Structure 1
Amino acid sequence: MKEKVLNMLKENKKGFISGQKLSEILGVSRTAVWKVINHLRDEGYDIESVSRKGYRLKVSPDILTQGELNRLLNTNIIGNKIIHFDSIDSTNTYAKELASRQEKAGTVIIAEEQTAGKGRLGRNWTSPKGKGIWMSLILKPDIDPTDAAKITQIGAAAVCEAIRDMGIEAYVKWPNDIILNNKKVCGILTEMSGELNTINYIVMGIGINANIDSTEFPDDIRKIATSLKEYHREEIDRKHLVASILNRFEDLYKELIDENSIKRSIKICKDSSILLGKQVRIISRHKEELGKAIDITENGELIIEKENGEVEKVISGEISVRGINGYV
Structure 2
Amino acid sequence: MTSDPAVRPPLDKSRLTGIGSDEIPDVTIEVVETAASTNALAVRRAQEGAADGHVVVAEHQTAGRGRLDRTWETPPGTALTFSMVLRPVVPTRSWPWLPLLTGYAVGKALKAQGYDAGVKWPNDVLIGDKKVAGILIERIETRDGPAAVVGVGLNVGMRTDELPVPTATSLAIEAGDAGPDRTEVLLSVLSTLREAYDAWQAGGDHTGLRLAESYADACVTVGQDVRVDLPDGSVLTGRATRVDPGGRLVVDGPDGPTPVAAGDVVHVRPLDQ
Per the shorter chain, which TM-score range? 0.7 to 0.9
Structure 1: how far apart are the matches of 2:146 and 2:229?
A: 30
Q: 1:229 aligns with which of 159, 172, 179?
A: 172
Contact 2:224/2:269 (8 A) holds in 1 = no
Q: 1:155 aligns with which of 102, 122, 135?
A: 102
The answer for the alignment partner of 1:10 in structure 2 is none
The answer for the alignment partner of 1:113 in structure 2 is 60
3-state SS in 1 of match to 2:34: coil
The answer for the alignment partner of 2:160 in structure 1 is 214
Deviations 1:194-238 (A, max 9, x none): 49xx951100001100110010124xx1x2111111011122121
Structure 1: how far apart are the matches of 2:217 and 2:66?
A: 25
Contact 1:65/1:82 (8 A) holds in 2 = no
Deviation of 1:169 (Å): 0.4
The answer for the alignment partner of 2:131 in structure 1 is 184
Q: Which runs of 5+ in 2 are unaligned?
A: none
More strand by share: 2
Contact 2:16/2:29 (8 A) holds in 1 = no
The number of aligned residues is 257
Largest Rg, 1 or 2 = 1
The answer for the alignment partner of 1:98 in structure 2 is 45
Q: How does 1:132-143 map to 2 (within 5 A)?
A: 132-143=79-90
Task: Label 1:138 to 1:295 Cα distance change in 2 as closer, same or farther (>3 A).
Answer: same
- Is residue 202 of structure 2 the alignment partner of residue 258 of structure 1? yes
Contact 2:82/2:152 (8 A) holds in 1 = yes
Q: 1:127 aligns with which of 74, 87, 110?
A: 74
What amino acid is the match of 2:103? A
TM normalised by structure 2 equals: 0.87
Contact 1:211/1:228 (8 A) holds in 2 = yes
TM normalised by structure 1 equals: 0.73
Deviation of 1:283 (Å): 0.5
Structure 2: how far apart are the matches of 1:193 and 1:71?
A: 28
The answer for the alignment partner of 1:63 in structure 2 is 11
Deviation of 1:265 (Å): 3.5
Greater CA drift, 233-242 or 286-295:
233-242
The answer for the alignment partner of 2:115 in structure 1 is 168
Superposed CA RMSD in Å reads 2.3
Task: Label 1:72 to 1:133 Cα distance change in 2 as closer, same or farther (>3 A).
Answer: farther
